[in-house]
């Protein structure tokens, strides 16, 4: 998500202060504006928001560019009626244009070559091959004396999935010593321990990152159990996989990965699988000649959009009050907090009291739904 203020009322605090001062003055607005010093504006605006005299805040508006948010967020933000919106449309934009040209075929050929490398590594274990190896002759899975650079990580991942072991505590990986000629082609120095070749600590982490660096979550071959095991052993590695999954989901599905799903690897796999199905159905229909505006019905609510939003400062107060609260859904909460941070840079006095109600009052009005950060006021 990216939040930028595109434009705003010039000198918003002075504009608001002048409008409010007018209510109590017998001189004209221009004269008030000209005579207002910065100190007077600051003290006037502070008194205004503390007293709850909010209507003058409607004279200052802020226009935000909001990029990379979900359509779930769009449904929530547009419930705020005292605002103006322009939204990127899926009627006119196909988020998967790339897939409709020849680029996808080139991608598929690359993934096929990587998966062949994976199967070569897997085959060295002598174990039963995964179903994806059906139709491939045994001779085609021999490991060459010199493994091509781009194939190495996929081949090693195949070998790891079939013959690598993960120690029960900490992050430590081992392979039977008979694979030394393959492992010696990697940039990692394994330690000989008894019959095994072992990597531990930082080196093991680097090795894991190397194995999964080129992973395509939905099209590469890999053992989800092995990946889950590594993520369980190393929170640092899990963090990298989460980040990678988030970027992958944004790039391949034009979707946002919500934080609660991001915390759970199985949920990430489920989300990717659902997004893949939706994307395929969308593209199939577009290829059949169905209009984009109808084909989009199968796209997930996590699908990204970009919007421009204009709100006046009073409406923003209401928005921050409702959406900066812990009870608000995570994505719109993140957005509200980012917007608040931006407006505070421009008009710190105007937004001094803005945010979740507890931040301004020291009490929570949410009763039994309270997050517990502040005492509840019933
Ligand atoms: C935690 C949370 C959970 C929510 N869950 C749900 C849900 O389950 N279902 C659901 O439908 N919505 C839900 N909402 C949305 C919520 O009901 C509001 O629609 C949304 O927050 C917009 O608030 P608003 O009406 O104050 O904002 P705006 O529409 O911007 O209005 C601002 C203010 O103007 C005044 N106003 C605007 N229009 C009118 C009017 N027609 N008559 C009188 N006064 C008006 C009100 O004082 C209002 O507070 C939820 C919101 C939050 C924060």
pLDDT at 103: 67
Mean pLDDT, residues 44-62: 93
Residue 87 pLDDT > 90: yes
Name the residue among 327, 375, 350, 311 with its Cα closest to residue 11: 350
- Closest Cα to atom 18 of ligand 1: 79
pLDDT digits (tens, 9 = 90+) for 119-140: 999 999 999 999 999 988 888 8
pLDDT at 39: 92
**Distance between Cα 52 and ligand 1 center (Å):** 19
pLDDT at 361: 85
User: Which domains, ranges and CATH numbers included, belong to the chain?
Assistant: 2-90+303-369 (3.30.1360.170), 97-256 (no CATH)
**Distance between Cα 26 and ligand 1 center (Å):** 37
pLDDT digits (tens, 9 = 90+) for 227-282: 999 999 999 999 999 999 999 999 999 999 999 999 999 999 999 999 999 999 99
Residue 100 pLDDT > 80: no
In DSSP notation, 302-356 reads: TBEEEEEEEEEHHHHHHHHHHHSSTTS-HHHHHHHHHHHHHHHHH-TTTTTT-SS
The ligand 1 atom at the shortest distance from the C-alpha of residue 81 is: 29
**Distance between Cα 328 and ligand 1 center (Å):** 13
Report yes or no: 374 and 364 within 8 Å, Cβ to Cβ: yes
Mean pLDDT, residues 143-149: 81
Cα separation, 219 vs 222, in Å, equals: 9
The ligand 1 atom at the shortest distance from the C-alpha of residue 323 is: 53
What is the sign of the dihedral through the CA atoms of 29, 33, 35 and 41?
Answer: positive
Beta bridge partners of 308: 65, 86
pLDDT at 130: 92
Write out residues with Cβ below 6 Å of ligand 1: 79-82, 315, 318, 322-323, 327-328
Q: Residue 75 class from Cβ within 10 Å (0-12 exposed, 13-18 middle, 19+ buried)?
A: exposed
Residue 109 pLDDT > 80: yes
Q: From 54, 77, 81, give the residue whose CB has the most ligand 1 atoms within 8 Å, as the site to mutate.
A: 81
- Closest Cα to atom 8 of ligand 1: 76
Cα separation, 129 vs 123, in Å, equals: 7
Report yes or no: 120 and 161 within 8 Å, Cβ to Cβ: no
pLDDT at 32: 77
pTM: 0.90
- Hunting for tokens 């608001």 — which residue is that? 16
């Amino acid at each position: 998500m990216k939040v930028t203020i595109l434009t705003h009322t010039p000198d918003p605090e002075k504009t608001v202060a002048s409008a409010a001062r007018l209510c109590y003055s017998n001189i004209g607005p221009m004269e008030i504006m000209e005579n207002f010093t910065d100190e007077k504006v600051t003290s006037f605006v502070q008194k205004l928001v503390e007293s709850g005299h909010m209507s003058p805040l409607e004279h200052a508006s802020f226009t935000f560019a909001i990029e990379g948010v979900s359509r779930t967020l769009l449904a929530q933000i547009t419930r705020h009626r005292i605002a103006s919106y322009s939204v990127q449309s899926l009627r006119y934009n196909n988020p998967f244009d790339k897939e409709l040209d020849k680029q996808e075929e080139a991608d598929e050929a690359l993934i096929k070559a990587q998966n062949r490398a994976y199967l070569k590594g897997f085959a060295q274990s002598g174990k039963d091959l995964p179903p994806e190896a059906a139709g491939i002759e045994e001779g085609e899975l021999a490991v060459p004396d010199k493994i091509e650079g781009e194939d190495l990580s996929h081949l090693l991942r195949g070998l790891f999935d079939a013959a690598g072991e993960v120690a029960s505590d900490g992050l430590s990986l081992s392979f039977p010593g008979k694979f030394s000629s393959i492992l010696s082609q990697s940039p990692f120095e394994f330690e000989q321990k008894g019959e095994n070749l072992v990597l531990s600590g930082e080196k093991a982490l680097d090795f894991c990152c190397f194995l999964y660096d080129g992973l395509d979550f939905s099209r590469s071959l890999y053992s989800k159990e092995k990946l889950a095991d590594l993520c369980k052993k190393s929170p640092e590695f899990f963090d990298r996989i989460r980040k990678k999954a988030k970027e992958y989901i944004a790039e391949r599905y034009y979707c946002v990965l919500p934080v609660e799903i991001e915390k759970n690897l199985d949920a990430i796999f489920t989300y990717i699988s659902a997004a893949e199905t939706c994307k395929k159905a969308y593209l199939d229909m577009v290829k059949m000649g169905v209009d984009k505006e109808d084909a989009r019905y199968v796209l997930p609510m996590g699908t990204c959009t970009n919007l421009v939003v204009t709100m006046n400062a009073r409406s923003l107060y209401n928005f921050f009050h409702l959406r900066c609260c812990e009870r608000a859904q995570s994505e719109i909460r993140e957005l509200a907090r980012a917007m608040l941070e931006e407006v505070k840079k421009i008009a710190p006095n105007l937004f001094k009291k803005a945010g979740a109600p507890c931040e301004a009052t020291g009490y929570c009005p949410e009763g039994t739904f309270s997050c517990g950060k502040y005492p509840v006021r019933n």
